[in-house]
């Protein structure tokens, strides 16, 4: 059997668990979703309700009044933001159970960065950019869960040798997080945008929708702990009108924003 299929099949939880996530992500495919449909997902999950209230009152969204009703919170945030929060919260245990606490934080940082740059440059819808950034590395859950020790080894090789992550993953796992993620996207029947992000965030030019993939690619590189400016697609950033001399500043802005979100969702 193909190694990628074998790896994804070996993680039973990942296929059965995310019904709330898949349900929510699939609501993105419907042109109209009622607030009730969304509210039904939230209202029966107490921790989700608490987190949404905390977030809507946090500096991340910056509403002026204190909000204590979940219905008001939902209508203030709007459908898409609520969907994004549901996915970010619901995926946290999956990402953290894999022993990889950094993966969830990295996903939130890339999500917040994509949302910020999309709203700044209008290159794509900011809410879609958030979820695109959040989901990009979902395939790492499969590799990490299947063998946490070996995946930690992958991370340390990537960090110490500044190596290409997919190459190191292939060396240890005979597959990589883009392959496992692409298979998950197919099994979960994710929307085309998200499937493309997962499959092409390391190679945006191969995608039929290169702009969103390039945005995630750029923010992903920007949010690496050992940020290497030579790896970032400067031509793409130029088309967005981003000042290439101020990348460190941009990095700090995104970090600060995402830490607000991380602390409210933790
Ligand atoms: Fe990746
Ligand atoms: Fe990443």
- If asked whether residues 232 and 186 sit together in one domain, one would say yes
Give the distance (Å) from ligand 2 centre to CA of residue 71.
34
Between the CA of residue 59 and those of 46, 79, 83, 84, 257, what are the distances in Å?
22, 19, 19, 17, 9
- pTM for the model: 0.90
Ligand showing the shortest atom-to-Cα distance for residue 224? 2
Q: 224: which DSSP letter?
A: S
- If asked whether residues 98 and 150 sit together in one domain, one would say yes
Q: What is the pLDDT of residue 51?
A: 85
Ligand showing the shortest atom-to-Cα distance for residue 168? 1
CATH number of the domain encompassing residue 110:
1.10.3210.10
Q: What is the pLDDT of residue 99?
A: 57
Q: How many domains does the chain have?
A: 2
DSSP 132-167: HHHHTTTHHHHHHHH-HHHHHHHHHHHHHHT--HHH
In contact, 55 and 61? CB cutoff 8 Å: yes
In contact, 7 and 139? CB cutoff 8 Å: no
Q: Which residues surround ligand 1, an ion (CB under 5 A)?
A: 137
Give the distance (Å) from ligand 2 centre to CA of residue 121.
21
Give the distance (Å) from ligand 2 centre to CA of residue 12.
23
- Walk along the chain (266 residues) and give the pLDDT tens digit of each residue: 699 999 998 887 665 545 667 777 776 667 676 777 777 777 777 778 888 888 889 888 888 888 988 888 888 888 778 888 888 888 888 787 655 678 999 999 999 999 999 999 999 999 999 999 999 999 999 999 899 999 999 999 998 888 899 999 999 999 999 999 999 999 888 889 999 999 999 999 999 999 999 999 999 999 998 898 999 999 999 999 999 999 999 999 999 999 998 988 87
- If asked whether residues 126 and 142 sit together in one domain, one would say yes
- If asked whether residues 82 and 205 sit together in one domain, one would say no
**What angle, rounded to 10 degrees, do the helices at 101-121 and 247-265 form?**
120
Instruction: For residue 14, tell me if it sits in a domain.
Output: no
- If asked whether residues 160 and 249 sit together in one domain, one would say yes
Give the distance (Å) from ligand 2 centre to CA of residue 107.
7
Ligand showing the shortest atom-to-Cα distance for residue 223? 2
């Amino acid at each position: 059997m193909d190694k990628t299929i074998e790896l994804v099949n070996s993680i039973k939880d990942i296929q059965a668990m995310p019904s709330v996530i898949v349900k929510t992500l699939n609501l993105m495919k419907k042109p109209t979703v009622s607030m009730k449909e969304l509210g039904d997902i939230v209202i029966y999950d107490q921790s989700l309700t608490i987190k949404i209230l905390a977030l809507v009152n946090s500096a991340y969204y910056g509403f002026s009044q204190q909000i204590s009703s979940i219905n008001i919170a939902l209508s203030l945030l709007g459908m898409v933001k609520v969907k994004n929060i549901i996915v970010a919260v619901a995926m946290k245990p999956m990402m953290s159970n894999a022993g990889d606490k950094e993966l969830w934080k990295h996903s939130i940082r890339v999500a917040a960065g994509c949302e910020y740059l999309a709203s700044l440059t209008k290159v794509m819808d900011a809410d879609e950019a958030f979820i695109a950034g959040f989901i990009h590395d979902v395939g790492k859950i499969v590799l990490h869960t299947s063998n946490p020790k070996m995946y930690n080894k992958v991370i340390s090789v990537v960090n110490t040798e500044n190596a290409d992550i997919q190459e190191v993953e292939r060396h240890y796992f005979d597959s990589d997080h883009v392959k496992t993620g692409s298979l998950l996207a197919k099994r979960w029947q994710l929307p085309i945008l998200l499937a493309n992000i997962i499959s092409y965030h390391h190679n945006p030019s191969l995608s039929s929708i290169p702009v969103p993939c390039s945005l995630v690619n750029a923010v992903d590189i920007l949010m690496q702990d050992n940020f290497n400016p030579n790896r970032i697609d400067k031509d793409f950033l130029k088309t967005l009108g981003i000042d290439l001399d101020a990348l460190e500043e941009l990095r700090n802005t995104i970090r600060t924003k995402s830490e607000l979100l991380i602390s409210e969702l933790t």
